[in-house]
């Protein structure tokens, strides 16, 4: 026992010396203390002698690492101080690498867009007040004054937005900054200057913000997202029509299954995507304009004889938005959750399409058109990678992650309101930006596809076993006993050829016309109604929503 304990103690001591950081390591952590040279132990201990060189090397490397790390730190600090925002320095790739593909969303979903729509709402509200006879303090504006006010948002510029941001630095309130900006712009106009205090009259900031966000979404959908969805559906629908009669081996569970046509499989995606596109477009975008807690409190104190809920409804609907009459301080964002969920579902279907096309390219069913100068792999010159579909898939994942958070978070607000929605809503452009980018990636990939009919036919010719299904079905019709079991014994786990299948058919006790029909059957011709289904895809799309897909 004593010998065992002594041995254990020596081994423990040796490992302890190895695991204890040398002075150089301590100096590396504590840079204020100088590094000292390690003494060379004159010990016969195996572990100690074996570690001497390693510890010396560690000391040397640690000293070098300190110098390199300090230089990198200094360089990084100097570099970051000199950087300005550009496509190369943007933290978000949507504002950098992918700018050209998503910049169409900028007028709607950027900070500039938010400020511009706030200006629009403030101006439109003042114009609305001027049309209410019960508010004599704001008389009806002349045509020239109306034009002046409307031009404040029609001609709203980047410099105007910068001016608002300068005011915000003082106010530390973004909506109040817009109000002050408008007052400053209008103070020299003799007619409008008399009613400056009716800018933002009886409004809470959320009255302005919810309508601005609603308009941002509406415009982004109408001008960018829905047209991009339509283009995706149109291109996939064309793939369905162009390839309606091209037979293709199906794969269920990754294994050969009953043949279909390439066009019919594309028609499935066109139909699914079209249904979700319709769901997105029919979500009713809503707005509120009911004051601090949704009761028109201040409105009624100032002008008790006006039916403010009716005025608010007229005003909100005049902006092309649906009206929500029951609200706390905020519009509760339920429609946004529904909208983003519908876009997520559309994106998931497109993601499914991307993966299927990726697989078909891998099988050789599609070739990809090459572009002069383009490189597929930095080391393998032969490669033409399906990068567009991969990029689309990746961006759909990023988009859905952001939109999922928006849809789950936005309908939840403590009591009459909290501010958590404010910062989250600023990220609508991220989710929708990656969505638009993914659509464009997919479209770019589709444009490169070229059907490889020879490869499709080759796969079908090697899978005569897929005819086991129709043969055993015909056998059932004519009362042949155990048809499934007979075909299972013939085909399962065995190599099946045209000759072996014909031999089996010739041995069946069925009517001659049925036998003749089966003998004429091939994997290429056994596609059921797939061709007709693909050819009718445009009609099917119109029946779903009454829209034509161009």
Residue 323 has a CB neighbour count (10 Å cut-off) of 19
377 classed as catalytic: yes
* Spatial separation of the C-alpha atoms in residues 74 and 533, rounded to whole Å: 66
Strand 322-323 versus strand 286-287 pairing type:
parallel
* Spatial separation of the C-alpha atoms in residues 435 and 432, rounded to whole Å: 5
Tokens 């445009």 — which residue?
538
Q: Six-digit token pair at 287? A: 């707005």
Give first-to-last CA distance, the chain, whole Å: 90
Burial of 186 (0-12, 13-18, 19+ CB in 10 A): buried
Residue of 253, 378, 382, 548 marked active site: 253
91: left (phi over 0), alpha (psi -120 to 50) or beta: alpha
Residue of 8, 86, 362, 377 marked active site: 377
* 3-class SS of residue 543: helix
* 3-class SS of residue 524: coil
CB-based contact 466:257 (threshold 8 Å): yes
* Spatial separation of the C-alpha atoms in residues 400 and 354, rounded to whole Å: 15
* Spatial separation of the C-alpha atoms in residues 16 and 160, rounded to whole Å: 68
Q: Which residues contact 153 (CB under 8 A, 6 or more apart)?
A: 116, 119, 120, 123
Tokens 């399962």 — which residue?
492
250 classed as catalytic: no
Enzyme catalytic residues: 253, 377
């Amino acid at each position: 026992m004593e010998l065992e304990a002594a041995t254990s103690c020596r081994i423990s001591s040796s490992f302890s010396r190895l695991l204890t950081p040398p002075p150089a390591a301590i100096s590396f952590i504590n840079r204020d203390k100088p590094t000292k040279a390690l003494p060379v132990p004159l010990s016969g201990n195996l572990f100690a002698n074996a570690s001497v060189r390693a510890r010396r090397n560690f000391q040397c490397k640690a000293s070098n690492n300190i110098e390199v790390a300090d230089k990198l730190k200094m360089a990084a600090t100097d570099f970051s101080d000199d950087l300005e925002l550009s496509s190369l320095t943007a933290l978000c790739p949507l504002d950098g690498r992918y700018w050209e593909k998503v910049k169409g969303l900028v007028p709607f979903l950027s900070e500039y867009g938010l400020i511009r729509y706030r200006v629009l709402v403030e101006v439109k509200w003042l114009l609305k007040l001027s049309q209410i006879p019960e508010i004599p303090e704001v008389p009806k504006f002349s045509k020239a004054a109306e034009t002046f006010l409307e031009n404040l948002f029609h001609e709203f510029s980047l410099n105007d937005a910068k001016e608002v941001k300068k005011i915000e630095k003082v106010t530390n309130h973004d909506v109040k900054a817009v109000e002050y900006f408008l007052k400053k712009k209008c103070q020299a106009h003799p007619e409008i200057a008399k009613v400056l205090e009716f800018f933002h009259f009886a409004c809470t900031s959320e009255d302005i913000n919810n309508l601005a966000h609603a308009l941002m979404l509406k415009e982004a959908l109408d001008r960018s997202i829905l047209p991009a969805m339509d283009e995706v559906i149109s291109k996939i629908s064309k793939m369905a029509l162009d390839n309606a009669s091209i037979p293709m081996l199906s794969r269920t569970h990754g294994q050969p299954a009953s043949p279909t046509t390439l066009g019919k499989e594309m028609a499935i995606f066109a139909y699914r995507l079209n249904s979700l596109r319709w769901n997105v477009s029919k979500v009713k975008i809503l707005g509120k304009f009911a004051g601090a807690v949704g009761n028109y409190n201040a409105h009624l104190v100032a002008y008790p004889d006006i039916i403010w809920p009716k005025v608010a409804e007229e005003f909100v609907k005049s902006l092309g938005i649906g009206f929500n009459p029951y609200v706390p301080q905020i519009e509760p964002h339920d429609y946004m959750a529904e909208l983003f969920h519908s876009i997520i579902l559309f994106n998931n279907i497109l993601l499914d399409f991307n993966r299927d096309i990726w697989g078909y390219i891998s099988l050789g069913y599609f070739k990809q058109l090459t572009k002069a100068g383009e490189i597929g792999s930095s080391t393998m010159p032969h490669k033409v990678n399906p990068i567009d579909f991969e990029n689309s898939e990746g961006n759909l994942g990023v988009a859905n992650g952001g939109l999922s958070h928006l849809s789950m978070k936005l309908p939840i607000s403590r009591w009459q309101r909290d501010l958590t929605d404010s910062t989250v809503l600023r990220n609508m452009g991220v989710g929708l930006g990656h969505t638009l980018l993914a659509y464009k990636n997919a479209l770019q990939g589709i444009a490169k596809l070229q059907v490889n009919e020879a490869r499709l036919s080759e796969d079908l010719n090697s899978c005569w076993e897929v005819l086991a299904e129709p043969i055993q079905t015909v056998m059932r019709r004519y009362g042949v006993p155990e048809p499934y079991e007979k075909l299972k014994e013939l085909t399962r786990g065995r190599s099946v050829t045209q000759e072996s299948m014909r031999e089996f058919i010739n041995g069946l006790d069925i009517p001659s016309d049925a036998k003749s029909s089966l003998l004429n059957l091939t994997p290429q011709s056994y596609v059921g109604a797939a061709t007709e289904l693909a050819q009718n895809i445009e009609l099917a799309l119109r029946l779903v929503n009454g829209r034509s897909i161009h």
